[in-house]
A and B are shown apart, each in its own frame.
Chain A
């Protein structure tokens, strides 16, 4: 700590001398490196690793000696790997002895074969000398600044005469003064209010608000705007970029997805000032937070915003894994500015993060129930009517409780039963029988009027039946395949047909009360982490043959599927349908298997097979369930029997039917509620989870090594942080006292929103390849303030920043500032910012009086050009919103992942296919076309023209009407020249068209398109 403090202190002292040199020398086009300019540290006794050595290593060495490749056995990411003996056999770095260090020999030699960097220009003499000095001083290593916890540094003394004592002004002023610059004067109060209102609410101030604002009541305006519901609508947008929020499922089909309750949750969380730690914890693990209730579940939709791939033939496990990987990368990048995506394939090229660290993080997310399915399950019903939300939530909870209770009962009552293996006499598969049964089952489904099936399903079953009939007629299809039997187990060969009836023959000696069939993975070890193809059994039947050849059918009283993810399906479907004719699903199926799955068949009375007789268990695999490619095929089975009579008792108890009735009742009640089905996170129980292993070079089919448990990268454990064990602890871990990055990254996000550029420019990357902070001391002070004193209160932090003199200064930059600090890194004037895609539109609607302030709800579809959601795109229709819904704020516009609202994209809205924490503004002719021709802006123009006409009709002079329109648009009155320009335009259009409304429209369009309107 002490050391860190000194280092920081030194930095700011040195910087005073440095700034002049750097800015005169011209700044790099991309980013800036105030802290990493080496070679100007003559008076400093000790070499600083982070400031002088790491930049050399990163730019000259780690390409070959880094996290990805360790040529010659040497890497410059960790100290141990830098000082060790390389493949040459010589010690690379001998602390204290540069003369004996191979590194020094290699960078000094002129020998092209051994000299380093290989095949590239030699290091400069200065760089070589610095490295030598560093080694002779002991070759001390330092962690990259961002991995060390922030420390509150003494606030510098006041350096600028007219700035006050807000610590932000003291820190910024210190550097401005040191560079020999001065701050800009305070902006006009109208400019301040425009800036503040746009930054806090995304809308310009109203004419009344402009009238009443003064220097004295500025802080009251801050409070008023922070309390406005518009605040949440503005601040949510940036978070929704990070959350990759869209209203559709993505990929090929891109069906609509009911994501909007999550969007409203984010807006409300900002409006209610939910502290940042709770805000994040609920989104990562709200399903695991005790007492978090419905809001906690809605928040978890954050990580369900990943796309779902419904393309035919796509592997659900593969795309589930793609989503899980996205969750890892997004979590680290959004919360900590750590670029984890590259660690998916290999250790981090620049930062001390190991390849296995990635998979340890992945392990926290690798146990949720979502499975890239068409229903996006698990989901929760959110009724449109907010009064019913808790009712629906209660149903959801009751269902969960009921199922849990049922599973408990089943295992207590019955599953304690002892099973014994039964010898299989033969096991065969009959293809022709399969097709016959498929025909019968499908026909029965078509006929079954009692079944609640849709017309589409009925058609589907009709087609299944027709196809099956064709197949039944083809004698060549009558194939019987024998399985390889070993006692109670059987493995069927590769060529096992997809449509088939399996016949398992046995001859049990005692009375059988239940039969258990286990489906095993073919390769148990591998399946534990890489699941195998699943299976689907539509029907089970039993029959027996007496020794004289008499056949008898044995009725089944119940089927008990193991306590898996589809318990609800088997309970509601199987038993509800069993009550009617045309029952076509047994409920025994699995998308994939990673461990054995079982089903228990319970006969109405115990089965006794006389000597010489035999018992047959028949499994029909008719491929009638949701068609999957490749068709699921049962391959490995074993059979066990029980003689315990409690099975029959359990059946008689009717417990199962009671549960079914209750579940059906709850489902019907939920169905009756009109609302959204929001995808949420639900943790699987331990046995259902897949093992997590490291993927060799990021390939999910090449997993290697030991089973990994959840953990965080080693680099963080050095801060003495306790390691988390599950997703909730992982979420909470980000907010532990010594966590170095969470507070810095969020402070930077807020700073970026207000000043247009973060103190660290690369919001997405705080690692050693991101840009260094322009004001490290200020960043740390703010981080400590936010975390410790403000307790993650974001409104308080925003208030602190917007109250500063720095924020309130003018955007007119002094010539000296422009010349010496062209990028305005020192903030000696307030940066101008172009309005975001949302703000440009919302401002135009507000200025014209068209904006509809309704909060939340289903996304809307304002006008967009024909063919964006074209006929070519099969999913969804753009139904033009009406009755003011077309004028809702931009955040409510329907966002289809494959076809985002086009005018937003032109104004640099991000695609949201992956998480993004920064939008890069562009300035293009297409933006001009949007603002001049998009009907939304044309309507806004007529709205504004109407306002002017109304003023004129109320007796105001024309120029005053213009002035009012300017106030509405860019928050100030017009200058004389501007008035004259607009007057000429008005007269010109009147002259050409004879139409004063059109002339007013032209004036309105000019105002809306003006540079001052598009900026703040």
Chain B
């Protein structure tokens, strides 16, 4: 239990600071001073103490419940990932719930911005394909869905990023699509204000930001764990800093794509990488 609690706190703090760093790097690339690195963490904590307001159009208690489910499901992600190193399929399930919550948090408010974000979230289901394909390819290569077994496989046979690099590229595309201000981030396009988060205030927004921080940490942890040889804590830290820097640089220099282009780009990249990896495995 203490292990779970410690890992959740680490995930929240590290995720928040890395998201703050992401914002800072984007600002510096765009020649702006940007907010302090600690700003995302302070915002997250601040919302927990703000007054919570409920629009009169919302679907109760669904509007509240779905936010708590979002926070709970990423705690499950920490348990299955860094704590127990369990099945990749469960983490895929966690990610699937995250997608559901993303679109329904928007639609449950009655806001047209939330609704538009919801429909785009359904379209952006294409981002699940690279993750799904990467998981299957890792399984085909290692013969296991268990993260502990994948770590053991890599300590004997070398890192998977060298043997199936295109699968790692697919997973990285997913990381990129989930990073703030991503060219694929059509659900949080500024034309939709804050997308599905637009009508969530106070405590509810605090839980959403808590979950976003943990999700960023868990997704990067997963990428580093299944594609790189066994890493120390310092190795994970360096890896997460590098990924945050790369995604921030890409996001700072790339405009957001329109929904159709975003979906087609991800599907095309996913298909090319999937077929390429299959060829590398079987030929």
Partners in one complex: no
Residues of A participating in the B interface, judged by any CB pair closer than 8 Å: none
Residues of B participating in the A interface, judged by any CB pair closer than 8 Å: none
